[in-house]
């Protein structure tokens, strides 16, 4: 066997080997069981309006962290878990200055898995982040990007509140992503998606999204701020 034969055999073996999974696909499989769809309904029967967002399970008891503007002053909130099961949910905490809310699901799956929360203090501009949510009702959507800025301030179009110390990122998000997790490549939650920046009146992504860093959610979920 010549060296050329060996080189050809090695090249053929390498070509046939499956490509390793991407960081985003690995992270998504970790976070997927912890992501829920959130539907908030307002108004009386026959004149109801609803909004759709995303949430992330933070406790085995069915506590869910989401964006406050997703649930607003809704009379009825429903969550849909990863296995397709549904439950009514109560709004337990409202934190307008962070645009955060904590929900409690009334009925939970037997195998409910809470997400792992990671400190956002170590985030750096250029770090890879992945957003998971339900943009425009298209469930289980994953987008990949980087942290493009830190300690940003933004006045929310939804609430009129100026949010501070936000993580800016460029993973694509759209209406329906709000309240969903921004995760690192290990599938750990480093932020909660709350807004996207668009200088026009359109609620579509043009390259800049904002998330509340997970370290700033402590008071909402019952822990002192980091």
> How many Cβ atoms sit within 10 Å of the Cβ of residue 170?
18
Contact of 160 with 179, CB cutoff 8 Å: no
Q: Cα–Cα distances in Å, from 128 out to 60, 186, 220?
A: 28, 10, 26
Exactly one of 51, 69, 170, 215 is catalytic; name it.
Answer: 69
| Euclidean distance between CA atoms 133 and 43, whole angstroms | 25
76 catalytically annotated: no
Exactly one of 34, 148, 178, 195 is catalytic; name it.
Answer: 178
Per DSSP, 222 falls in state T
Per DSSP, 74 falls in state -
Q: Cα–Cα distances in Å, from 202 out to 4, 40, 49, 87, 155?
A: 59, 22, 20, 32, 16
| Euclidean distance between CA atoms 83 and 49, whole angstroms | 26
Exactly one of 34, 51, 87, 99 is catalytic; name it.
Answer: 99
The catalytic site residues sit at 69, 99, 178
């Amino acid at each position: 066997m010549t060296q050329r034969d060996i080189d050809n055999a090695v090249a053929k073996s390498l070509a046939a080997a499956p490509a390793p999974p991407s960081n985003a696909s690995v992270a998504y499989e970790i976070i997927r069981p912890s992501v829920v769809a959130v539907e908030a309904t307002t108004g009386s029967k026959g004149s109801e309006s609803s909004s759709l967002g995303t949430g992330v399970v933070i406790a085995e008891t069915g506590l869910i962290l989401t964006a406050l503007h997703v649930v607003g002053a809704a009379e009825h909130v429903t969550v849909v878990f990863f296995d397709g099961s549904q439950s009514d949910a109560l709004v337990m905490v409202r934190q307008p200055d962070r645009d955060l809310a904590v929900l409690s699901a009334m009925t939970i799956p037997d195998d409910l898995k809470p997400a792992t929360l990671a400190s956002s203090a170590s985030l750096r501009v250029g770090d890879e982040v992945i957003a998971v949510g339900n943009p425009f009702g298209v469930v289980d959507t994953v987008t990949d990007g980087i942290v493009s800025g830190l300690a940003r301030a933004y006045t929310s179009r939804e609430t009129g509140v100026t949010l501070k110390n936000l993580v800016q990122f460029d993973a694509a998000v759209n209406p329906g992503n709000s309240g969903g997790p921004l995760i690192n490549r290990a599938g750990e939650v480093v932020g909660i998606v709350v807004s996207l920046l668009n200088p026009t009146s359109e609620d579509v992504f043009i390259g800049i999204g904002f998330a509340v860093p997970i370290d700033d959610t402590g008071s909402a979920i019952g822990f002192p701020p980091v």
